[in-house]
């Protein structure tokens, strides 16, 4: 396999992966090649990471056997047509496209091309959180390590079956946005009752980190943790009562289901 990695598309997800690859020294900056429809964006990435710009899909195929497909799902088929004439059994396509199945990707890229699907964590810049990884059935075992190294560079990797990927996308990719909304709401609430925004933010963020650390290590059901915190007649149960009356838990579950439905519709 060539020493380079190519990117078709240079959006936020692609940039996050580039940053992780460089930081973890998986690839040297000059061995990362990008073909992006917006020329201005190409040069932004070059200035930020020191990566290389290619002029055409053919040039990209000559520089890299490993190609990250990072365009918008609605632009995927057209972008695939540009690179298709230059693909062979040596090429690996790593698709970041939500909702686009491996079967459909093979229709775009041909049956001989090896394909993996990756759903990166949306908080990719933190290089934390899980990204999902799916290989096609004929993917050579000896080449899986190279793809896994890419995903490991941006956090933790969870390999799964493709029929689980839409569910992962709904909660793994959209989840951080909802957690951010909840966090912002708690910060605002602190301001409303008299805390400075700076103090409220620090308190809420530290609580978020501490809670995550406890929940990660515990073998207890999460509701048991809640029950242990709630003192009889205390302040926590008072607030929890308001949340239950508002149907917060049900609303969160409905949000996940709506995101899942949207993900499944993208590929149709």
Mean pLDDT score of the chain = 93
Q: What total number of domains does the chain contain?
A: 2
**Tens digits of per-residue pLDDT, 146-156?**
999 999 999 99
Q: What CATH number corresponds to the domain at position 114?
A: 3.40.50.720
Decide which of 127, 160, 193 is a domain's last residue.
160
> Within this chain, do residues 89 and 136 fall inside the same structural domain, yes or no?
yes
Residue 19 phi/psi, 5° resolution?
A: -60, -40
Domain region containing 220: 175-266
What mean pLDDT comes out for the span 218-232? 94
122 closest CA partner among 8, 16, 266:
16
> Within this chain, do residues 103 and 217 fall inside the same structural domain, yes or no?
no
The pLDDT of residue 128 is above 90: no
**32: exposed, middle or buried (Cβ count in 10 Å: 0-12, 13-18, 19+):** buried
The pLDDT of residue 104 is above 90: yes
What mean pLDDT comes out for the span 17-40? 93
Residue 27 phi/psi, 5° resolution?
A: -135, 145
> Within this chain, do residues 98 and 202 fall inside the same structural domain, yes or no?
no
**197: exposed, middle or buried (Cβ count in 10 Å: 0-12, 13-18, 19+):** exposed
The pLDDT of residue 90 is above 90: no
Decide which of 160, 185, 210 is a domain's last residue.
160
Decide which of 98, 128, 160 is a domain's last residue.
160
> Within this chain, do residues 58 and 14 fall inside the same structural domain, yes or no?
yes
How far the first Cα of the chain sits from its last, in Å, is 34
Assess if residue 131 is contained within a domain. yes
The pLDDT of residue 135 is above 80: yes
What mean pLDDT comes out for the span 149-177? 93
The pLDDT of residue 36 is above 60: yes
Paired tokens of 174: 């959209």
The pLDDT of residue 2 is above 60: no
The pLDDT of residue 109 is above 90: yes
Assess if residue 166 is contained within a domain. no
Q: How far is CA 144 from CA 95, 108, 209, 263, in A?
A: 14, 21, 33, 26
The pLDDT of residue 1 is above 50: no
What mean pLDDT comes out for the span 13-39? 93
């Amino acid at each position: 396999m060539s020493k380079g990695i190519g990117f078709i598309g240079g959006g936020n997800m692609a940039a996050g992966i580039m940053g992780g690859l460089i930081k973890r020294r998986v690839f040297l900056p000059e061995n990362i090649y990008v073909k992006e429809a917006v020329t201005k964006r190409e040069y932004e990435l070059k200035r930020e990471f020191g990566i290389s710009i290619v002029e055409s899909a053919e040039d990209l195929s000559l520089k890299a056997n490993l190609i990250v497909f990072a365009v918008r799902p609605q632009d995927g088929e057209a972008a695939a047509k540009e690179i298709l004439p230059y693909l062979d059994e040596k090429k690996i396509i790593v698709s970041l496209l939500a909702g686009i199945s491996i079967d459909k990707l093979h229709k775009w890229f041909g049956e001989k091309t090896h394909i993996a699907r990756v759903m990166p964590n949306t908080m990719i810049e933190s290089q934390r959180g899980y990204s999902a990884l799916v290989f096609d059935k004929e993917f050579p075992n000896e080449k899986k390590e190279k793809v896994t190294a890419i995903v490991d560079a941006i956090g933790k990797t969870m390999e799964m079956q493709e029929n689980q990927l839409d569910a992962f996308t709904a909660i793994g990719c959209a989840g951080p946005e909802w957690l951010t909304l909840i966090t912002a709401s708690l910060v605002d609430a602190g301001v409303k009752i008299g805390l400075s925004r700076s103090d409220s933010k620090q308190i809420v963020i530290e609580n978020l980190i501490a809670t995550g650390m406890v929940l990660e290590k515990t073998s207890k059901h999460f509701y048991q943790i809640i029950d242990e915190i709630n003192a009889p007649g205390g302040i926590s149960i008072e607030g929890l009562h308001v949340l239950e009356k508002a149907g917060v838990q049900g609303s969160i579950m409905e949000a996940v289901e709506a995101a899942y439905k949207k993900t499944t519709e993208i590929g149709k």
